[in-house]
Amino acid sequence: MPDDPPAPDDIFSAFFLEVGILAQLSRALFSLRLPPGISVSQFTVLNHLVRVGDGGTPLQLARAFQVPKTSMTHSLTVLERHGLIRLAPNPLDGRSKFTFITAEGRAFLQASRAALAPDIRAMGDLFPASRLAGVLPTLTELRRILDAMRDDPSPDQT
């Protein structure tokens, strides 16, 4: 290797490339474990509803996952069709809705987590979770920055 200049562009692109493949790969692995008809996105939303708490609006969910609201509408529609969530009208705002997990939804999430557990454990055997914990803050921080760049429509101009 004759050259090793610290070109920051290359670092960023290498990083995003790695992140992209990682996301893709984990997504593929996970979806293999989920029952057919449920996608990783759907699972993720369900997971979020339990972790953070339900009763929020679809738009809040869309923002939390940084997806267009039409995509979230779709995901929620599928989840509701499967009886895993329930959409209730917002009595305070006629345009809005509330999102609740159903008992089936909780059970389903539980089962899915169980189905995923062996893989997680296998990963943990090959790769210590503590090392991941080490990089997590960095990822989170960068995510916040990207987030901000997104809200802020200013790429560059003085």
Partner DNA sequence: ACTATCTAGTGCGAAACCGCACCAAATGCA
Partner DNA sequence: TGCATTTGGTGCGGTTTCGCACTAGATAGT
Contact positions toward a second copy, by CB under 8 A?
6, 8-9, 11-30, 33, 44, 47, 65-67, 117-124, 126-127, 129-136, 138-143, 145-147, 149-150, 155-156, 158
Tokens in use for 18? 């790695």
Q: Does 75 bind DNA (CB under 7 A)?
A: yes
- Identify the residue among 1, 8, 95, 103 touching DNA (CB under 7 A): 95
Tokens in use for 11? 């670092």
C-alpha angle 5/10/15, rounded to 5°?
130
Nearest CB to DNA, comparing residues 11 and 143: 143
Q: Does 39 bind DNA (CB under 7 A)?
A: yes
Q: Does 76 bind DNA (CB under 7 A)?
A: yes
Where in 8-37 is the site for DNA (CB under 7 A)? 24, 27-28, 31, 37
Give the chain's length.
158
Q: Using DSSP, state whether 1 is helix, strand or coil.
A: coil
Tokens in use for 57? 């609006």
Q: What is the DSSP string of 42-74?
A: HHHHHHHHHHH-S---HHHHHHHHT--HHHHHH
Nearest CB to a second copy, comparing residues 5 and 94: 5
- Identify the residue among 34, 50, 67, 115 touching DNA (CB under 7 A): 67
Q: Residue 133 binds what, of DNA, a second copy, none (CB under 5 to 8 Å, by partner type)?
A: a second copy
Nearest CB to a second copy, comparing residues 92 and 148: 148
- The amino acid at residue 41 is S
Q: How far apart are CA 41 and CA 45, in angstroms?
A: 6
Residues 6+ apart with CB under 8 A from 1: none
Q: Where do contacts with DNA occur on this chain (CB under 7 A)?
A: 24, 27-28, 31, 37-42, 57-60, 67-71, 73-78, 87, 90, 92-97
